[in-house]
Chains A and B, each alone.
Chain A
């Protein structure tokens, strides 16, 4: 089973996770820039984070045979902090980087006017840079949030097939798919979605334009949830081709719209003793 996790925050994960993901079949992933748990206080803090997503993190991933790409943006939560908003002016410089395959995560958190402005501005940045957009749907007041998100997308220069709506569930999947956008589902240990509910959604809505991710980060989450969905699909009677479509071909097709996916990663180096991830001091 080849797996592409289209949404996972590897800066918060360990090398054990990379190894377990490789063993489970993960060969590619996209790491969206997001909130770190601890609020940032300046654009410079974003720049260091973007640099990690463009430098150190792909290096770590490659040592485990996994292709690493990222999406960059001012996230919805911090769009409300005037100390962070100037990062929008610096984004054009980062969106030209080779491994940036979308603008994201953008979208709504509390549905404030500041979030309206940041979402519209960043959808425009995506259109200007010929990039797709990864749009997070809010955790609170999700259905109303989805509708407001769809309104802003319709007013933007980005066509729906270049938008991935994420963190969907039973109440939002239909409207999301009807809009022409791609539909993403984050499978968590105990909130958002689980494997069985995902199977039920796939039975009703099919496997087209649907992506599954672990969204694993610094919170309680599981980087192997993609594999668990694949296993659950097979157990539920879906075929290998269905699994491959959801876990590989769909994310490749969506992010491939950037023209920047590089899926051939050199096999892990046989560097063992010298492996610099061993902190360069062992």
Chain B
């Protein structure tokens, strides 16, 4: 997983097939077939014992070693989608996952049919200080489902931890006319100035976006 706390675009199956070598492609085929099988038998097949994992979940963990670490997010996202991962499996993969595995869960939530039910995972990520997880938590799923209070705190968290606000999905749309966010940003700026410290340029940028008549973004993210 890249250390940079922004989220590079995920590759489609087609794009991956074009980039992977033969052995990796074969591994991916098998992994996706296992995930699909698991999706088809979701009600009937339970893993045995409290700690047992379906085979596709073990593949989820190993994806980077077979398909390249640079493709791990893309492969994991495909597995989640192919398995039509439901909340219990997602929660298990997130809670028992490495930072990289959690990252891939967060990046994929908006592509699964979950409604707001996966918000606890996003809220967990926002409580961490791992900038990669914070950046992934403010992606499309967080933008769609975080309530105003938690969303504003997520913005502040980005500013505090140095996550570029470019990682925040739908920033302009959600910030526009948000007087409470403007107040919080103003207070934060005042605190920095009182301490003799500089105000992050991203803060100024978000503050400008909060004005009610702020120009509509040319490209709604």
Contact = CB atoms under 8 A, between A and B. Distances in A.
Given A273-B198, A274-B200, A279 B129 contact: yes
B110 interface: no
Contacts of A266: 2-4
Contacts of A62: 3
B99 A277 contact: no
Contact of B161 (A47, A89, A98, A276): A276
A36 interface: no
Contacts of B132: 59
A236 interface: no
B61 to A, nearest CB: 4
B162 interface: yes
Contact of B197 (A58, A89, A273, A281): A273
Interface residues of B, number: 36
A84 interface: no
A280 B156 CA distance: 10
Given A55-B98, A89-B49, A271-B162, A280 B157 contact: yes
Interface residues of A, number: 32
A262 B69 contact: yes
B125 to A, nearest CB: 11
Nearest to B156: A280
A263 B100 CA distance: 17
Contact of A97 (B3, B98, B198): B98
Nearest to B127: A280
Contacts of B12: none
A256 to B, nearest CB: 14
Contacts of B134: 276
Nearest to B53: A93
Given A90-B51, A275-B162, A281-B160, A96 B130 contact: no
Contacts of A90: 51
Nearest to B51: A90
A280 B160 contact: yes
Interface string B43-60: 000000111010000100
B210 interface: no
Interface in A41-60: 47, 51, 54-56, 58-59
B64 to A, nearest CB: 6
Interface string A85-116: 00001101110111100000000000000000
A274 B3 contact: no
Interface string A246-281: 000000000000011010011001010111110111
B81 to A, nearest CB: 21
19 contacts: A47-B96, A54-B98, A55-B102, A55-B128, A56-B99, A62-B3, A89-B50, A89-B51, A93-B51, A94-B96, A96-B58, A96-B62, A98-B61, A98-B69, A266-B2, A271-B131, A276-B134, A280-B129, A280-B161
Interface of A: 47, 51, 54-56, 58-59, 62, 89-90, 92-94, 96-99, 259-260, 262, 265-266, 269, 271, 273-277, 279-281
